[in-house]
């Protein structure tokens, strides 16, 4: 049976945990060889490599700090050189730093690093990948529904980074459209990850904001990404796809 991504090579930033890890495994299950970056745990990265290989695909794990442009560039170029092509880029790496705008004790260095990872890191990955991508390639970035709806105070800095990615997505879709490269953003709502577990103290409040009354799972976000990078989404670009259980606020 032919797989939808058979013969394709995917690059995923931040692919060793949470949503990123689910994306790596789903793309491999759909037939792609996958290179992914990780920031700290080689043990976690090795576990994801084993899962990719269990699907009969090739895997490459590269340690790279998403906040350091040269490391992002080296990761993308190494993936291309190793596999000989690049068809899919998924920008999944990100951090979530909160704080009230009037807080005089705010860690401004942490907010700056958030911009470096969530915005500059994505920009660097796309700029590096663009000339290497096959015509008809795919770019998907992971955003947040907060870019459209602010659920609570103290998240302005984080949401601004994801809103920037949403705007870049529309712009890049125009830049790359002549090569039939699509560029889209997937915006998760409340997803069960280590950063936002479904049994956390605030989880009931987040569940109450959804039509389905539950948290999503990383695999459900990965399914949306798999659709956008697959053959059935060739005419979708510059779009935002919310995976949020019908979030109402």
The residues annotated as belonging to the active site are 158
The partner residues of 90 in beta bridges, in order of sequence, read 12, 140
What CA–CA distance (Å, rounded) separates 3 from 71?
Answer: 32
Distance CA 124, CA 226 (A): 23
Measured between its terminal Cα atoms, the distance across the chain in Å is: 42
Find how far residue 100's CA is from the centre of its chain. Answer: 26
- Measured between alpha carbons, how far is 138 from 113 in angstroms, rounded to an integer? 27
Q: Are 186 and 241 in contact (CB under 8 A)?
A: yes
The answer to whether 169 touches 141, Cβ cutoff 8 Å, is yes
The dihedrals phi and psi of 54, each to the nearest 5 degrees, come to -65, -25
Burial 162-177, CB ≥16 within 10 A → b, else e = bbbbbebbeebbeebe
Q: Are 26 and 223 in contact (CB under 8 A)?
A: yes
Instruction: List, in order, residues 6 or more apart from 158 with CB less than 8 Å away.
Output: 96, 97, 98, 114, 118, 144, 146
């Amino acid at each position: 049976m032919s797989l939808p991504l058979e013969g394709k090579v995917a690059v995923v930033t931040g692919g060793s945990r949470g949503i990123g890890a689910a994306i790596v495994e789903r793309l491999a299950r759909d037939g792609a060889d996958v290179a992914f970056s990780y920031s700290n745990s080689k043990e976690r990265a090795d576990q994801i490599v084993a899962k990719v290989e269990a699907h009969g695909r090739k895997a490459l794990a590269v340690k790279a700090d998403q906040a350091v442009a040269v490391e992002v560039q080296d990761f993308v170029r190494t993936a291309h050189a190793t596999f000989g092509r690049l068809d899919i880029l998924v920008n999944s790496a990100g951090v979530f730093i909160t704080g009230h705008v009037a807080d005089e004790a705010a860690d401004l260095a942490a907010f700056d690093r958030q911009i470096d990872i969530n915005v500059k890191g994505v920009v660097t990955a796309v700029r590096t990948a663009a000339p290497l991508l096959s015509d008809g390639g795919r770019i998907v970035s992971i955003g947040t529904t907060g870019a459209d709806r602010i659920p609570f105070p103290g998240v302005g800095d984080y949401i601004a980074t994801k809103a920037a990615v949403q705007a870049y997505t529309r712009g890049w879709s125009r830049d790359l459209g002549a090569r039939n490269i699509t560029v889209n953003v997937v915006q998760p709502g409340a997803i069960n990850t280590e950063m936002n577990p479904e049994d956390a103290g605030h989880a009931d409040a987040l569940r109450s904001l959804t039509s389905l009354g539950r948290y999503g799972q990383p695999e459900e976000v990965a399914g949306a990404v798999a659709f956008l990078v697959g053959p059935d989404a060739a005419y979708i670009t510059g779009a935002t796809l919310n995976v949020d259980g019908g979030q109402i606020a």
